Amino acid sequence: MEYLKNLFKLEKQDSSEQTSAEEVQVVYEEAKEWQSPLYTFYSIGPSYFTFSYPVDTDCIENEILSENGVTDSSYYEHIPNAIKNLKDYDNSWFQEEENKEVREHLLADLFLLAEKHHYVGAYTLIASLHENIKEQRMYMLKAAEGGSPAGMVAHGLFLCMTHQISEGFQWIQKGGEAGHEMGMFMTGLSYHFGTFTPIDYTQAAIWYKKAVEKHNNYYAAINLGVLYADAGYFHSAKKYFQLADSVKDNVMTEIVYFGMNDTLKNLNICLQVLEFPYSERRRRTVIQSHAPELEYIFCNEPSTGNMVAPRSVYQKEFEETPNPWNPLNDDLVEDDIQERQANTSVELFKKPVVKYPFDNFVFPHYEVEIRHPHIFGNQHELVFLEKYAHAELNQYIQKHLGQLRAIFKQYGYYLTYLPAHAIDIQDEQDLLGNYIKDNASNLVFQALDNKKRNESMYWNSLFTEEHLPNDCVGFLHFIPQPDDVMNKTRYNYILFPHRPGTDWQRAFADFIRYLSNQPFVEMPSRKQKLESGFLLVIDKDYHIYLTDAEGHQIVEIKMPSLPKALYFALLKHPEGIAIKELSDYREELMEYYREVSYKSLKEQSIDDLVDPTKNSANEKISRIRNIFEKALEGYQCDINMFIPIGKKGEKYKILFDRSCIRWESDKISIF
């Protein structure tokens, strides 16, 4: 925690200032004028490294499926879908249990080609058909040492996964030098974002151009266009965005599957920016990377095989972004050269420095009403909500979300992050489920659901307010009323700075300092004694209640689906389960999760839960405790009888007497 204190340079002092409404209005009018209209260009960030490992399929086309090949293709012609999955190589099809015989036949053919006929690229296919990570690495190494460009790139990625960065990147770049498309793009990507090398925009551009010129690579064209746009050369950027647009159909499946639809907007955004005067263009642009919330996590751990993006090993996490790239005239289209010569007096490469007119940031607040009271009814919770998506602010929050939550927690707050723009943050669905399923209409859930979220629906489903600023970002905060017998629900919406160019680290430091001086409301103690003889009831819809001996409901325990699945598994095993042993209970957890989840299932959530190298299980156990504490805060009872009790490395047990549990579902059971 000392690291976080140093990061935000927090001191426990009263730094809140009284600011007039007129002064606050000046700030927001100035911000509105400066940033509107604002245009966001989207690049492919380091999360691209997680897409896949390349394989060399030339031997399939030239030998296995060729009439003149050294293998006999007639075997595959009699197997339904075999030829199709060989042509559009899909290793997952061959790994299915019903296709085990075909897989073994294919492996025999590939070994023949690799070891007897020196098709070293066949080793990459052999690797892809093995599930054991050690065997995959062994065959990719053979392919790389044998001279297969795809093998070089894949072997390099395996090395990077195990933190052998220098040697791994050398293999990736070597594959790029040998002409491999993914090797070229990944080399450029590393120089662009500092993933495995120091940031060097000139080198990034060189490698992107190689991938564009040799392979018409969509991703390289997008990122090259973004480099030009960030440097202020929008005609050159347009050239590459047009090229990407012309080849997008070839990769549309990947674009949709990996959620990169925003990159399709770059050409139209560029055309709109070009309508502004030369001096206005750069300051009206924001650059954002695809899936920035992934970019601080390193590659997958070999023990789990879970794919997440690589962490930059060269650029410090809080270091400022290097100066924009300044290409030579030889790299520019003629229109950019002419415009630069005609506007030599215009400062092109530096965006204006933006400061608030106060020594410290200010955080005015409005008392607001929301459409569904009690959705966020806890004074220890702050909910990030914005009227429109603000790319630069969101990029900062997503990159530092874990640290922000930790420092907020130190001051007594839980940060719930719900941006206007849909993003993929682990367990957000479960987080929403805690509020939305039981406390609000389906309309609200759909508005906050990542798959369906759009700005206007998201905002309007929550707020009835019209007097908030036209463009605002802020934190919703519940205000309890200890003396309110009418049970009126009040909220504050605390405004937060949002314009590009803001010093976000300073803004959050001041905001947390501001929060540290806001007292929590002392609620009068009205605890009732929980009499003996009560029951824990799980009804047929898997709702959890405490009832008295006669079956009258005392309180409902509202729990998201993933913690609930873990809770049921722990109830089923009174002897307890250690976190490191959860993988032995995966199918059981999956069965509970399948039944209790009212949303689309994410098997990855279960995989993360049972993975001892991740913190998901600890988070769910902590979440269960918090849920019971909140539900039973008005009662006198020993909460430890309801929650998982245990120590790190030992088994977690629920001590509650199973004879006092009534399970009503006939589909699954804990008994």
Tokens representing 245 are 């647009």
Most confident segment among 206-210, 278-282, 649-653? 206-210
Is the domain of 261 the same as that of 381? no
Work out the pLDDT band at 307, boundaries 50, 70, 90: very low
Asked, for residue 597, whether it belongs to a domain, the answer is: yes
With a cut of 90, say whether residue 223 has pLDDT above it. Answer: yes
With a cut of 50, say whether residue 313 has pLDDT above it. Answer: no
Is the domain of 218 the same as that of 151? no
Cα–Cα dist 643/637, whole Å: 12
Q: Which of 150, 179, 208 is the last residue of a domain?
A: 179
Asked, for residue 390, whether it belongs to a domain, the answer is: yes
Is the domain of 362 the same as that of 218? no
The helix (H) or strand (E) run that includes residue 180 is: none
With a cut of 80, say whether residue 304 has pLDDT above it. Answer: no
Tens-place pLDDT, residues 108-148: 989 999 888 888 999 999 998 988 888 889 999 999 999 99
With a cut of 50, say whether residue 18 has pLDDT above it. Answer: no
Tokens representing 569 are 């598994």
Is the domain of 187 the same as that of 111? no
With a cut of 60, say whether residue 559 has pLDDT above it. Answer: yes
With a cut of 50, say whether residue 352 has pLDDT above it. Answer: no
Q: Where are the alpha helices (DSSP H) in 481-523?
A: 504-516
Asked, for residue 217, whether it belongs to a domain, the answer is: yes
Distance of CA 306 to the CA centre of its chain: 14
Is the domain of 214 the same as that of 335? yes
> Which residues, other chains included, contact 457 with Cβ-Cβ below 8 Å and sequence gap of 6+?
446, 447
Is the domain of 616 the same as that of 596? yes
With a cut of 80, say whether residue 642 has pLDDT above it. Answer: yes
Work out the pLDDT band at 301, boundaries 50, 70, 90: very low
With a cut of 70, say whether residue 483 has pLDDT above it. Answer: no
Q: Which residues pair with 477 in a beta bridge?
A: 382, 492
Is the domain of 76 the same as that of 219? no
What pLDDT does residue 616 have? 83
Is the domain of 402 the same as that of 462? yes
Tens-place pLDDT, residues 380-420: 888 898 887 787 888 788 778 777 877 887 788 878 888 87
With a cut of 90, say whether residue 525 has pLDDT above it. Answer: no
DSSP letters for 588-613:
HHHHHHHHH--S---HHHHHHHH-TT
Q: Which of 155, 179, 203 is the last residue of a domain?
A: 179
With a cut of 50, say whether residue 295 has pLDDT above it. Answer: no
End-to-end CA distance of the chain: 43
Q: How much is the mean pLDDT over the chain?
A: 77
What pLDDT does residue 310 have? 46
Is the domain of 144 the same as that of 240? no
Q: Using DSSP bridges, classify how beta strands 544-547 and 577-578 pair: parallel, antiparallel or unpaired.
A: unpaired
With a cut of 90, say whether residue 371 has pLDDT above it. Answer: no
Poorest-pLDDT segment among 166-180, 265-279, 345-359, 637-651: 345-359
What Rg, from alpha-carbon coordinates, does the chain have? 28
- Contact (Cβ atoms closer than 8 angstroms) between residue 295 and residue 193: yes
With a cut of 50, say whether residue 286 has pLDDT above it. Answer: yes
The total of structural domains in the chain comes to 4
What pLDDT does residue 354 have? 42
Asked, for residue 48, whether it belongs to a domain, the answer is: no
Is the domain of 509 the same as that of 544? no
Cis ω on the peptide bond leading into residue 497 (within 30° of 0)?
no
Is the domain of 579 the same as that of 598? yes
What pLDDT does residue 287 have? 76
Cα–Cα dist 140/125, whole Å: 9
Asked, for residue 24, whether it belongs to a domain, the answer is: no
Distance of CA 197 to the CA centre of its chain: 23
Tens-place pLDDT, residues 585-607: 888 988 888 888 755 566 788 88
pTM score, two decimals?
Answer: 0.54
Give the distance between the most distant pair of CA atoms in the chain: 88
b/e for 48-65, b at 16 or more Cβ within 10 A? bbbeebbbbbebbeebbb
Q: Which of 516, 551, 571 is the last residue of a domain?
A: 516
Asked, for residue 508, whether it belongs to a domain, the answer is: yes
Q: Which residues pair with 661 in a beta bridge?
A: 536
With a cut of 70, say whether residue 267 has pLDDT above it. Answer: yes
Tens-place pLDDT, residues 153-176: 999 988 887 778 889 899 999 999
Asked, for residue 463, whether it belongs to a domain, the answer is: yes
Asked, for residue 353, whether it belongs to a domain, the answer is: no
Domain that holds residue 140: 55-179
With a cut of 80, say whether residue 669 has pLDDT above it. Answer: yes
Mean pLDDT of the region 27-43: 63
DSSP letter (8 states) at residue 282 = G
Torsion of CA 230, 234, 236, 240, to 10 degrees: 80
Torsion of CA 166, 172, 174, 175, to 10 degrees: 170
Mean pLDDT of the region 66-94: 84
Is the domain of 334 the same as that of 216? yes
Cα–Cα dist 493/473, whole Å: 9
Mean pLDDT of the region 611-631: 83
With a cut of 60, say whether residue 486 has pLDDT above it. Answer: no
Q: Other CB atoms closer than 10 Å to residue 236's CB: what's the count? A: 23
Percent of the chain scoring above 90 in pLDDT: 17
